[in-house]
Structure 1
Amino acid sequence: MKKNILFLCTGNSCRSQMAEGWLRHLKGDLFHVFSAGIETHGLNPNAVKVMAEAGVDISGQRSQLLSEFDNQSLNFVITVCGHAHERCPVFMGGNNGQAPKVIHVGFADPPKMALAFDDEQQQLDCYRQVRDEIRDFVLGIEGVLGFE
């Protein structure tokens, strides 16, 4: 039976969107995957661009608020930024009375990293770096979730 995973970030525009895309692309047969934010900032076009470079289309995803998942039965909530982890609410039972397991795996913020550069390619390299780190995390996610 597929497990339900929600990736949570501050604005659900970049890191959580990339994580959702990677997990769906690489392990969609094992997991139902969602992403949300404490706020919504819209889908980051640079995240869409670098994911497309890697063969993963996230252009159809949308920025969603965490509250949209109030009635969703979740097995795991994975926070991908420190701000979301700090503000992550306490999840009550919803998964057969079981609260989801909350795991924090922080990734650097590509838009903030990119501010250090004027060159567009250097800016995109910030997104590529985090994209690849998230891919590597997703490749080993069963170990993080305790399935190995």
Structure 2
Amino acid sequence: MTFRRPKMRSIVFLCVRNSARSQMAEGLGRAIFGGDVRIQSAGSEPSHVNPWAVEVCREIGIDLTGQTSKFVGTIDPDSVDTVIRLCDEEVCPVSLSDKQHYYVPIEDPASDDPSLGREQMLARFRRARDEIKEQLASLAAILDRA
């Protein structure tokens, strides 16, 4: 008898502020997985969608303008079967404990450092975007083989 791993039906991406990494992952996830997987994002201290995230995703055809920052407590646990935590050094929200969890540490591209210019900020956000995109493409390839 052969067992097949069930297809992933829904993913929630978590980070603290739900402003950059998880928002980019939400947009990229929708593009990579299409309508086959429900994609959501949330954070433990939601704020706003970072304009740098919007800009670097727009560069590759991903529109984040309709997305909003959400509190993880508003996510219906029944709407999720996989949690992907994107926090690096900060404490990532832990919730939906009975779900399948993946930890993909991505350095937070956001910074309050006033010495960072436009090109440096874009480079930070592009690096995070590209890391997330690569990780999600790998996950999609694994799921396709499952």
Global fold match (TM > 0.5): yes
**CA 1:117–1:140 in structure 2 vs 1: closer, same or farther (change >3 Å)?**
farther
Correspondence 1:1-148 to 2 at 5 A: 3-82=9-88, 83-85=90-92, 87-89=93-95, 91=97, 99-112=98-111, 115=113, 117-142=115-140, 148=146
Deviations 1:32-89 (A, max 9, x none): 000000111111011001100111001100000001114443110000004353x413
Aligned residues: 139
Q: Distance in 2 between matches of 1:121 and 1:105?
A: 25
> What percentage of aligned pairs have identical amino acids?
33
Q: Distance in 2 between matches of 1:23 and 1:129?
A: 17
Structure-2-length-normalised TM-score: 0.84
Q: Does structure 2 conserve the Cα–Cα contact (< 8 Å) formed by 1:115 and 1:123? A: no
Query: Where does the alignment leave 5 or more consecutive residues of structure 1 unmatched?
Result: 92-98
Q: Distance in 1 between matches of 2:22 and 2:120?
A: 22
Q: Does structure 2 conserve the Cα–Cα contact (< 8 Å) formed by 1:39 and 1:65? A: yes
What secondary structure sits across from 2:56 in the alignment? helix
Deviations 1:94-132 (A, max 9, x none): xxxxx31011101011013x7385321121111011111
Structure-1-length-normalised TM-score: 0.83
**How far is 1:23 from its partner?**
0.7
**How far is 1:144 from its partner?**
6.3
Q: Does structure 2 conserve the Cα–Cα contact (< 8 Å) formed by 1:5 and 1:31? A: yes
What secondary structure sits across from 1:109 in the alignment? coil
**CA 1:84–1:74 in structure 2 vs 1: closer, same or farther (change >3 Å)?**
farther
Q: CA RMSD of the aligned region, Å?
A: 2.3
Structure 1 runs (4+) greater than 6 angstroms displaced: none
Q: Distance in 1 between matches of 2:137 and 2:35?
A: 13
